[in-house]
């Protein structure tokens, strides 16, 4: 399968169609089973044709309605996003400001990969009562996503292996798999619901049997048995659906994890430990069957190959390491039976932290006083610690940046750049961005102007909304934040958003209102202010109001021509750059460029989000032509491009132009 994000989206749409088709077949099979049972229970086979039609019609409608209502109910319970799924399985939220070494290591890994992949930092959970090695990602969108790992994964995996597992789950996040997976949970609940209903009717029939014997017998037990049989039909189709949806996606996620982490030893090592440790990847939680298709490893000890949601472990390992001898697993099992692995001790034994710190720059803390391995990402040879953080000039005569191949597909250079961006944010600022009680003044401080009259007006706004104490704190933050490289502003905001999500909904709404007031204080909105507010609104609003997103993204770029041209005009800084983009998007158009304020983008998002994979790919190619026209993209263009991709749900890694 192609590594291009848009090809994967097209494949995902085909899989969604297959899901709907199999679900429809399951429903039809269940309805036929129930109809036959009802006819038998009421001895209606000898009745008139009209009576049979009437009975079958009522039975079919009732069965379809039961399945539909059960599906809607389960889907509604999942509207809380990925965090809801994690909590249902017993997950405990990992605070942004945790000082526990294992949890700090986990959060650091998640943040690194989030910045490298261009996605919002998801919520992080640990399944404390699960001793096996497993993980999953869930959510309707990147803004309400959650990543959960088991306690066994934290304790048994070293940093490379944990990074490989998290990268595997991020692949599901950026490629849209998790939306398909969580939707599948609702559909499967609907077709399995009849088993519960059948068992209830069977029990009810037992209690009423003696009373109804004189009147010719009670049909409830027969109907109950039929519903249980129909439920088994649902189980059959449900497992077939999960297997058909999940198996190929797991191979792709393994391959994507290698792209994320730049090496195979991490994820392959995690798979070997699953195969070699007694607990494997088994999940004990009661709802593990429901989420089996979402897990990193199979949640059950044994599963028939026909219904397996995951490829066999040896096959996954050999796909990553073709020379691996499966016989080695027996030796690993014997070794680990005597001396179980301890992940953080392996980090020290292997010299992981020290060697990586020497290779990079990273003072990020996995635990108090101990640098993390973020510096693992080696910077390109022509960079060094004294190289300015701004974008490097393009090589003369270079072509385009190849953005469509970079979307949701981070490589070495993006990982290195994410490491550099996070590393250049001072530790005390990064710490406050993680703290729920300190994040609001920090976020507001990013928007305070250096112009004295405007700054005074902003201070008055903050004092009126939050009081002098918060206003003074925001001003102190601004004094330190103004020293940051401009390219650090959006990454800092992104690592602060998770802490904001854990303020109350009223506080989040107040922050959104305060942000609008601050950026409007001088009567104009800069590109950074617009990008910041747009990404903040998208992140907070979608986390507060997660939606199933049942609508299909099928609009063509031609049908969104007005909105696409508006976006290219805002992105371009002159007519030649605009025409370069128009040549890609609409080569037959002769419209000239006109300068538009960045706020005009508010008029385009509702249409451009409905573009199908072909339309989004073509639009991003056109945007790339605009930005790369002069060979030296500006900070303004890069911030806009990153925001455009984020709002179109096409995550863009940090750009490196060398």
Rounded-to-integer distance, Cα 354 and Cα 371, Å: 9
Q: How many CB atoms lie within 10 A of CB 482?
A: 12
- Which one of 169, 477, 494, 637 is the catalytic residue? 169
Whether 169 is catalytic: yes
Q: How far apart, in Å, are the Cα atoms of 87 and each of 81, 128, 350? A: 10, 11, 35
Query: Phi then psi for 449, rounded to 5 degrees?
Result: -80, 155
The dihedrals phi and psi of 431, each to the nearest 5 degrees, come to -65, -45
Specify the DSSP element, H or E, that contains 431. Answer: helix 427-434
3-state SS of 497-508 is: HHHHHCCCHHHH
CA distance 428 to 453: 29
Strand stretches in 283-399, DSSP E:
365-367, 370-371
Residue 270, helix vs strand vs coil:
helix
Decide: helix, strand or coil at residue 483. Answer: coil
Check if the beta carbon of residue 594 is closer than 8 Å to that of residue 568.
no
DSSP codes, 20-66: HHHHHHHHHHHHHHHHHHHHHHTT-TTS-HHHHHHHHHHHHHHHHHH
Cα 302 to Cα 297: distance, rounded to the nearest angstrom? 12
What whole-number distance in Å separates Cα of residue 500 and Cα of residue 544?
A: 11
Cα gap 597→593, rounded to integer Å: 13
Q: DSSP string spanning 528-595?
A: HHHHHHHHHHHHHHHHHS-----S---B-TGGGHHHHHHHHHHH-SSHHHHHHHHHHH-TT--PPP--
Question: Is residue 138 within 8 Å of residue 182, measured between CB atoms?
Answer: yes
**30, 9, 8: which is closest to 188 by C-alpha?**
30
The whole-angstrom separation of Cα 51 and Cα 38 is 12
Q: Which DSSP letter does residue 306 get? A: G
Q: What's the rounded Cα separation, in Å, for the pair 394 and 428?
A: 34
Q: How is the chain split among helix, strand and coil, in percent rounded to 5?
A: 65, 5, 30
- Which are the catalytic amino acids? 169
């Amino acid at each position: 399968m192609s590594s291009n994000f848009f090809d994967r989206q097209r494949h995902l749409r085909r899989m969604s169609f297959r899901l709907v088709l199999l679900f429809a077949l399951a429903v039809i099979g269940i309805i036929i089973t129930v109809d036959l049972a009802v006819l038998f229970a009421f001895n209606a086979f000898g009745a008139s044709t009209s009576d049979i039609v009437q009975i079958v019609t009522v039975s079919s409608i009732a069965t379809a309605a039961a399945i539909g209502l059960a599906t809607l109910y389960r889907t509604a319970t999942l509207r809380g996003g990925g965090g809801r799924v994690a909590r249902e399985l017993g997950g405990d939220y990992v605070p942004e400001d945790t000082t526990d070494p294992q949890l700090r290591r986990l959060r650091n890994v998640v943040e690194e990969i989030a910045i490298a992949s261009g996605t919002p930092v998801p919520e992080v959970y640990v399944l404390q009562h699960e001793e096996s090695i497993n993980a999953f990602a869930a959510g309707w969108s990147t803004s309400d996503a959650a990543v959960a790992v088991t306690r066994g994964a934290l304790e048994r995996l070293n940093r490379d292996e944990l990074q490989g597992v998290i990268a595997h789950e991020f692949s599901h996040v950026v490629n849209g798999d998790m939306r398909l997976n969580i939707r599948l949970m609702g559909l499967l609940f609907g077709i399995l619901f009849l088993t519960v209903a059948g068992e209830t009717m069977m029990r009810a029939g037992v209690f009423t049997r003696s009373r109804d014997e004189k009147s010719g017998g009670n049909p409830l037990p027969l109907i109950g048995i039929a519903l249980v049989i129909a439920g088994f039909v649902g189980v059959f189709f449900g497992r077939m659906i999960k297997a058909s949806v999940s198996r190929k996606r797991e191979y792709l996620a393994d391959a994507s994890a290698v792209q994320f982490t730049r090496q195979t030893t991490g994820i392959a090592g995690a798979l070997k430990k699953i195969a070699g440790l007694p607990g494997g990847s088994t999940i004990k939680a009661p709802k593990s069957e429901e989420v089996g298709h979402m897990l990193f490893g199979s949640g059950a000890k044994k599963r028939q190959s026909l219904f397996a949601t995951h490829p066999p472990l040896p096959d996954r390992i050999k796909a990553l390491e073709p020379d691996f001898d499966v016989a080695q697993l027996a030796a690993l099992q014997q070794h680990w039976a005597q001396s179980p692995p301890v992940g953080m001790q392996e980090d020290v034994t292997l010299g992981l932290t020290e060697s990586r710190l020497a290779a990079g720059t990273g003072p990020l803390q996995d635990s108090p006083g101990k640098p993390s391995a973020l510096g693992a990402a080696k910077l390109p040879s022509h960079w060094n610690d004294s190289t300015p953080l701004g974008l490097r000039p393009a090589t003369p005569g270079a072509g385009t940046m190849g953005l469509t191949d970079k979307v949701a597909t981070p490589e070495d250079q993006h990982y290195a750049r994410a490491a550099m961006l996070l590393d250049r944010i001072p530790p005390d600022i990064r710490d406050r961005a993680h703290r729920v009680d300190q994040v609001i003044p920090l976020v507001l401080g990013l928007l305070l102007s250096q112009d004295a009259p405007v700054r005074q007006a902003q201070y008055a706004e903050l004092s009126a909304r939050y009081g002098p104490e918060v206003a003074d704190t925001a001003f102190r933050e601004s004094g330190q934040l103004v020293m940051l490289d401009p390219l650090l502003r959006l990454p800092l905001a992104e690592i602060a958003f998770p802490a904001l999500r854990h303020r109350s909904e009223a506080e989040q709404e107040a922050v959104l209102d305060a942000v609008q007031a601050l950026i409007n204080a001088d009567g104009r909105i800069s590109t950074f202010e617009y990008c910041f507010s747009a990404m903040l609104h998208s992140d907070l609003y979608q986390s507060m109001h997660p939606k199933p997103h049942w609508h299909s993204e099928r609009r063509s770029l031609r049908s969104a021509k007005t909105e696409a041209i508006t976006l290219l005009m805002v992105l371009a800084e002159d007519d030649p750059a605009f025409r370069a983009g128009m040549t890609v998007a609409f080569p037959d158009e002769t419209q000239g460029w006109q300068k538009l304020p960045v706020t005009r983008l508010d008029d385009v998002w509702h249409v451009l989000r409905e573009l199908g994979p072909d339309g989004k790919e073509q639009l991003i190619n056109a945007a790339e032509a605009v930005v790369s026209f002069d060979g030296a993209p500006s900070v303004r263009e890069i911030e806009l491009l990153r925001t455009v991709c984020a709002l179109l749900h096409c995550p863009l890694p940090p750009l490196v132009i060398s």
